[in-house]
Amino acid sequence: MSANTINSYKTSFILFIGFFESQKKIRINKLSLKDITKECIVEFLEWLQRERKCSDSTRNVRLAAIHSFFNFLQYEVPESINEWQKILSIKVKKVKKRTMNYLTIEGVKLLFAQPDLSTKKGMRDLTMLALMYDSAARVQEVIDLTASSVRLTKPYTIKLVGKGNKARIVPLMDQQVVHLKNYMEMNHLLEPHVNMHPLFYNSRREKLTRAGVHYILQNYVRAARMKDQKLVPEKISPHSLRHSKAMHLLQAGVNLVYIRDILGHESVQTTEVYARVDSKQKREAIEKAYADVIKKEKPLWTNNDNLLEWLKNF
């Protein structure tokens, strides 16, 4: 499993144990497997949504961690397999699909015009956001980048490590490399001894957090919306930059297979979601296939000789 999955599982069980301590009054040193039943887990999931105001998606993430653990226990403690299978029978909740938010090319240009390039922070922010867009990287993939991840000799590439620790090589455009190289030179990241140093870091020289990247983006989203609300939707997240790049590649006619490889998807079926969302491409496809099958009707007044004669003499 990736580090993110492990952290998610860890958080799930911290909450789970905390639930037993606060709601069931069972301290961790007294908690045993016999105390954990299907009914208790259902209570825990309801408590997450009622008390902690968790969404259905978050509830499902916590349940996935619990399912993984009890699937493991089927082999480790088979004498209680009946109870484990009851727990495994708890179903995930159906989650309503949210609208995919993405920026137009004009919106991306407006957003990237906001950082102040006269400051080191502004240079970092523009370089990071532009790299997220150009490489269609997930936010964690950008956070985990080190100086050694970038190849600044032709062909320019960047190595991204995604879900399941799977690495992929994404090509970089010349204009992106100019910004990236200037940023790395400014921060002495081209020197050999800093190969494993985070590519993007905070004032303490530590790599950024997901919340930190989101905060940086929101500052520029607000600034861009003050200039043109139509070009920049209110709800834009770091993942929206990834969606934006995928949509722009699709609209430019790039094959879905290549888009899949850039995004790091396992299957092209996952990538097809962008084709389903792209209303512009749908409209253009319909226009190309459109045939005028409706008989054109003449206006009623053309058959009125008296009206025509009156109009001529008007």
Domain ranges of the chain: 3-88, 105-281
- What residues form DSSP beta bridges with 157? 151, 171
* Residue 159, φ and ψ in degrees, nearest 5: -100, 120
137-160: average pLDDT: 92
Superfamily of domain 105-281: Intergrase catalytic core (1.10.443.10)
3-class SS letters over the chain: CCHHHHHHHHHHHHHHHHHHHHHCCCCCCCCCHHHCCHHHHHHHHHHHHHHCCCCHHHHHHHHHHHHHHHHHHHHHCHHHHHHHHHHHCCCCCCCCCCCCCCCCHHHHHHHHCCCCCCCHHHHHHHHHHHHHHHHCCCHHHHHCCEHHHEECCCCCEEEEECHHHCEEEEECCHHHHHHHHHHHHHCCCCCHHHCCCECCECCCCCECCHHHHHHHHHHHHHHHHHHCCCCCCCCCCHHHHHHHHHHHHHHCCCCHHHHHHHHCCCCHHHHHHHHHHCHHHHHHHHHHHCCCCCCCCCCHHHHCHHHHHHHHCC
> Is 103 in contact with 132 (CB distance < 8 Å)?
no
In this structure, which amino acid lies at residue 87?
A: I
Q: Report residue 43's pLDDT band, with 50, 70 and 90 as the boundaries.
A: very high
Residues 205-227 pLDDT 10s: 999 999 999 999 999 999 999 99
Higher-confidence residue of 302 and 194: namely 194
Residues 72-100 pLDDT 10s: 999 999 999 999 999 999 999 988 777 77
Q: How far is CA 181 from CA 59, 81, 127, in A?
A: 43, 57, 9
125-134: average pLDDT: 94
Closest Cα to residue 231, out of 100, 99, 111? 111
Mean pLDDT of the chain: 87
Checking if the pLDDT of 280 tops 60, the result is no
Checking if the pLDDT of 288 tops 70, the result is no
Q: Report residue 295's pLDDT band, with 50, 70 and 90 as the boundaries.
A: low
The domain 3-88 having CATH identifier 1.10.150: the answer here is yes
